[in-house]
Structure 1
Amino acid sequence: MSHESDEVNEAVAGELRLMAPNVRTSRSLARELLDPEFVEVGASGRRWTYEQMLAALPDMAGSSEEGPQYQPSDIAGGVLAPGLVHLTYETVIDGRRARRSSLWRKRSDGTGWRMYYHQATPVPPEVE
């Protein structure tokens, strides 16, 4: 496995952890995966900051073990620069599809890979 693949695999692992209900409901676990400079443009069009996301995540879709869970597919990634990985994939949750794009960066403070940016675009039902 190449170094580049290792970086992509670490970002994918972080992405999948962020979809897990036990991480979404734990501010401390989510904090380990979100960069302090994190920004998201959600499927709703809303812009989220690090603090806003940490506060809202436990109440968002996919945060309950009993409720609908994220079903990711077609995850692909590439290294844009040393310590910077771009991921793309699709999710379905509760019948809603979205195409997603994330930037993960490796923190120089030794805390590992963190999601720096995320964007979700809803996919209408009629789109293949």
Structure 2
Amino acid sequence: MDPAVRASRADFERLLDPEFVEVGSSGRRYTYADMLAWLPEHAGSARGGPRYEPSAIEGVLLAPGLVHLTYETDFDGHRARRSSLWRRRSEETGWRIYYHQGTPVPPEAA
């Protein structure tokens, strides 16, 4: 969520699993390569600009080396509920995001 990390290709490569997939709210599928090209220019990546504010973070260990993370974000007044899978293949690579999906929360939903 940190704009400095989002804007850094090296930091982002370290956190994304090479087999990463995201399903966007539009239904579009994004790959590892798509995200590396897109994220530095995406909203929330500029220092001093609006940033994603996470809340209600919960994690569940599904299996050794696989965690399901759910949370909500607020970005400049827009809320979303998010779900991601993080996996750890080795001590050297550490935890990396393998799958992500976000769903916008309409203003009338509490």
Pairwise same-fold verdict (TM > 0.5): yes
Distance 1:75 1:63 in 2: 21
| Higher percent of residues as strand | 2
Of all paired residues, the percent bearing the same amino acid is 69
Specify the code of the residue in structure 2 equivalent to 1:102: S
Q: Does 1:86 align with 2:63?
A: no
5 Å-filtered alignment, 1:13-28, equals 19-28=1-10
Residue 30 of structure 1: aligned partner: 12
Q: Does 1:59 align with 2:50?
A: no
Deviation at 1:27, TM superposition (A): 0.7
- Structure 1 residue runs without a partner (length 5+): 1-18
TM-score normalized with structure 1 length: 0.82
Deviation per CA, 1:73-98, whole angstroms, max 9, x where unpaired? 00000100000000000001011110
Q: Find the partner of 1:74 among 30, 34, 56.
A: 56
| Higher percent of residues as helix | 1
Deviation per CA, 1:17-72, whole angstroms, max 9, x where unpaired? xx111111111100000000000012333211000001100111210112110010
Distance 2:46 2:28 in 1: 22
Contact 1:72 1:90 in 2 (8 A): yes
- How many residues align? The count is 110
Residue 105 of structure 1: aligned partner: 87
Alignment RMSD (CA, Å)? 1.1
The 3-state SS of whatever aligns with 1:32 is: helix
TM-score normalized with structure 2 length: 0.95
